[in-house]
Amino acid sequence: MSYIVYKKFGKGEYAYEVTSTYEKKTKEVKKKTKYLGIVVDKKNKIYEKRQQHLRPEKLILDFGDSYLIKKFLENTKFIPLLTETFGENADSFLALMTYRLCHTGAMMHANDWHQGNYAKFQYPKADLRSQSISTFLKAIGGDVLQRRFFREYMTQFCNTKNGIIIDATSMPNQIHIPLTNWGRSGEEIDKQIRFLLVVDKESGLPVYFRTLPGNIVDVSTVENTMDELKQYGVKNTFVYCDAGFFSEDNIKLFFEKKIQFLTRLPAGRILYKELINTEVNNLESKGNIVKYGDRGLFVKHKKINLFGDNAHAYIVLDPCRKGRELSRLIAEIDSKNPTTDLEYEMLTRGIMILVSSSEISKEDVVPAYYLRQTAEVLFGFSKDDIGILPLRVHSEETLSGFLFLQFITLIAFAQMKKVLEKDYVVEEVLLNFRNLKCKIYDKEIVVSELTRKQKEIGAKLKVMVPKSLGI
C-alpha cells in the first residue's frame, strides 16, 4: 500500500511516497519512503526533482601533457635521478623541463603556463616567476651540480662501451659574453657559441655536452672532450665523428689512447686525392656492389697508412648522387675558361671516403658512419622542438644553467621518441594530450574522458591515466 505525504521546509513543500508492507514473521508494518520532489501542482500530483547540490568547482586545467611526461619519466627511472640531483629545487627544475617539452616559448611565459596546467599540483614548490627563473638557472649552472648529474646519469643510463658519436653545432646570438665570438656556420660567418654534443651509439641518448667559444673549430675540441669523458668513466670506446674533427693530431691521439674511430676523410687531404686517382676508375665493378636500404652503392676497401699507423679506407660511390653532381658540374663549365682539373673533379662526384682504425665489412661501414646523424637529429630536436634558440640569457652563468636544462630536456625528449618509434611524433603526442583536461574540486581532481588515440598513446608509453586523483 502506497500513499503520498507532504512536508514543508521554509517556503517549499516537498512530496514523499510512503509504501507500507506487513512482515508476517515479525508481525510488523514497515514503511519505505521515496523522495518525489518539490510540489509544483499538488492537485495533479506534479513534482520537480531537482539535481543534488554539486561540489563547488574551482578550476579547469590542462592535464594530459604534464601527467604523461611525469609518469613516463618515472617509468624510465629518470625522475628519481633528477629529484636526487636537484634536491629542494627539484620542483622548479621538473616544472621548467616539462614546460620546455610542451612549449618552445620564452621563459617569461612559464609561470602563466604553470598556473593553467596540472603541473602546479605535480610541482607545488616550483617558482617560475621570471626573476626566480634567472636566479635558478644561475644556481644550476655551476660545475659541482652538473658533475654530480653526469656521473650518476652515465652510470645508470649510458652504455658507451659500444661507441659514442661526437658532433657540434653553432648557436648564433648577440649575447655580450666571452663565449660569443665570430665563427663560421656553414657558408656564413656569425657571432656564435659552439655546442658540442656526445651521443651514446647504442641508446641514441645524449651523453654529455660542452659549450665552446664561437671561434673554436671542431677539430681542436676532441682531446679535451675525451679527457673530460674519461673523468666519468668513458674510455676505450669507439668514436664516430664527421670530417670536421679529422686532423693529424686527433688521429694520432686516437691511436695513442687505443680509441677506435670511424670518420670521413676531408676532400682537401693529400690522401683523399691519392685514393681518388688510384681507386675510383675501377670502383664500379660487380665485386664492389653493396645494398644500402633501397639504394645501391659501390664500396671498395683499401688498407692505408694514416699518419704512421695502419688503418682502413672505404671509397664509397653513390651512383644516383654522382649523376646529379655530374649534371651540375657540366652545367657550370665555362667553355672559354675550362677548369684545369675537370677530369679530377668528374672523378670526385658522388664519392665519399671513410677512414677507420679497424676493419669493417663493406656492407656495414656506411650504416655505421651514418649513425653520426643521430647527433644531427638531436640538434634538430633541440632547435625545432624544445626551443634552444634563440638564446635569451644575459650572462655566462645563466647560459650554462639554461643549456644544462635544455640538455636534460633533450634526454627526456629522446627517451620518449625512442619508445614511440615511428608510430607517433613527440610533438603530436604532447599536443594531443594537452587537450585532455581535468576539473579541480575541493578534495579531488576529475579527469576528462580519454579519446581512442589518447588511449593508444598511453598504452604505447605504458602510462595509465586515472579517472580521478586526490589532492
> Which tops the pLDDT comparison, 20 or 360?
360
Cβ-Cβ contacts under 8 Å for 246 (sequence gap 6 or more):
219, 263, 264, 265, 266, 269, 355
Count of positions (residues) in the chain = 471
Cβ-Cβ contacts under 8 Å for 122 (sequence gap 6 or more):
66, 67, 70, 94, 95, 98
In this structure, are residues 68 and 429 in contact, taking their beta carbons and an 8 Å threshold? Answer: yes
Q: Please give the sequence-ordered ranges of beta strands (E in DSSP) within 287-403, or none if there are none.
A: 289-292, 295-306, 309-317, 351-356
Q: At what angle do helices 90-102 and 426-434 cross, to 10 degrees?
A: 100
**How many CA atoms, within 13 angstroms, populate the side-chain half-sphere of residue 122?**
29
Q: How far out from the chain centre does Cα 29 lie?
A: 72
> What is the pLDDT averaged over residues 159-184?
87
Distances (CA, A) of 283 to 277, 296, 352: 11, 13, 12
Q: Please identify which residue in the block is written with the cell numbers 670526385.
A: 348
Q: How far out from the chain centre does Cα 124 lie?
A: 25
Question: Long-range contacts: 372-376, Cβ < 8 Å, 24+?
Answer: 372/165, 372/167, 372/240, 372/241, 372/242, 374/165, 374/199, 374/201, 374/204, 375/165, 375/166, 375/167, 375/197, 375/199, 376/167
Rounded Cα gap, residues 283 and 358, in angstroms: 21
Give the pLDDT confidence score for residue 337 in this predicted structure: 63
pLDDT band at 22 (very low <50, low <70, confident <90, very high): confident
In this structure, are residues 222 and 245 in contact, taking their beta carbons and an 8 Å threshold? Answer: yes
What are the φ and ψ backbone dihedral angles of 242, each rounded to 5 degrees?
-90, 175
In this structure, are residues 183 and 353 in contact, taking their beta carbons and an 8 Å threshold? Answer: no
pLDDT band at 453 (very low <50, low <70, confident <90, very high): very high
Q: How far out from the chain centre does Cα 385 lie?
A: 8
Cβ-Cβ contacts under 8 Å for 437 (sequence gap 6 or more):
60, 61, 62, 63, 64, 447, 448
Rank 231-240, 389-398, 447-456 by mean pLDDT and report only the highest.
Answer: 447-456
Degrees to nearest 5, angle at CA 345 with 342 and 349 = 140
Show the cell assigned to 267.
676532400
Of 158, 189, 148, nearest in space to 172 by CA: 189
List the single range of 36-45, 271-280, 415-424 with lowest mean pLDDT.
Answer: 36-45
> What is the pLDDT averaged over residues 334-354?
83
Buried residues in 213-249 as b, exposed as e (16+ CB within 10 A): ebebebbebbeebbeebeebebeebbbbbbbbbbbee
What are the φ and ψ backbone dihedral angles of 27, each rounded to 5 degrees?
55, 40
pLDDT of 248 higher than 70: yes
Buried residues in 376-393 as b, exposed as e (16+ CB within 10 A): bebbebbbebbbbeebeb
pLDDT of 56 higher than 70: no
Percent of the chain with pLDDT over 90: 68
> Which tops the pLDDT comparison, 338 or 274?
274
pLDDT of 39 higher than 90: no
Give the pLDDT confidence score for residue 185 in this predicted structure: 66
Q: Are strands 351-356 and 46-48 parallel, antiparallel or unpaired?
A: unpaired
Give the pLDDT confidence score for residue 58 in this predicted structure: 62
The per-residue pLDDT of the chain, averaged, comes to: 90
| Number of CB atoms found within 10 A of residue 341's CB | 11
Give the pLDDT confidence score for residue 294 in this predicted structure: 87
* 285-295: pLDDT as tens digits: 999 999 998 88
Give the pLDDT confidence score for residue 30 in this predicted structure: 76
* Identity of the amino acid at 363: E
Give the pLDDT confidence score for residue 186 in this predicted structure: 65
pLDDT band at 10 (very low <50, low <70, confident <90, very high): low
* 379-438: pLDDT as tens digits: 888 888 787 777 777 788 999 999 999 999 999 999 999 999 999 999 999 999 999 999
- Torsion 233-203-92-210 (CA) sign: positive
- Torsion 231-232-238-244 (CA) sign: negative
Give the pLDDT confidence score for residue 410 in this predicted structure: 96
Rounded Cα gap, residues 227 and 232, in angstroms: 9
Give the pLDDT confidence score for residue 36 in this predicted structure: 81
Give the pLDDT confidence score for residue 441 in this predicted structure: 92
Give the pLDDT confidence score for residue 136 in this predicted structure: 95
Give the pLDDT confidence score for residue 106 in this predicted structure: 85
pLDDT band at 35 (very low <50, low <70, confident <90, very high): confident
Q: At what angle do helices 426-434 and 452-460 cross, to 10 degrees?
A: 130
Q: Are strands 164-172 and 46-48 parallel, antiparallel or unpaired?
A: unpaired
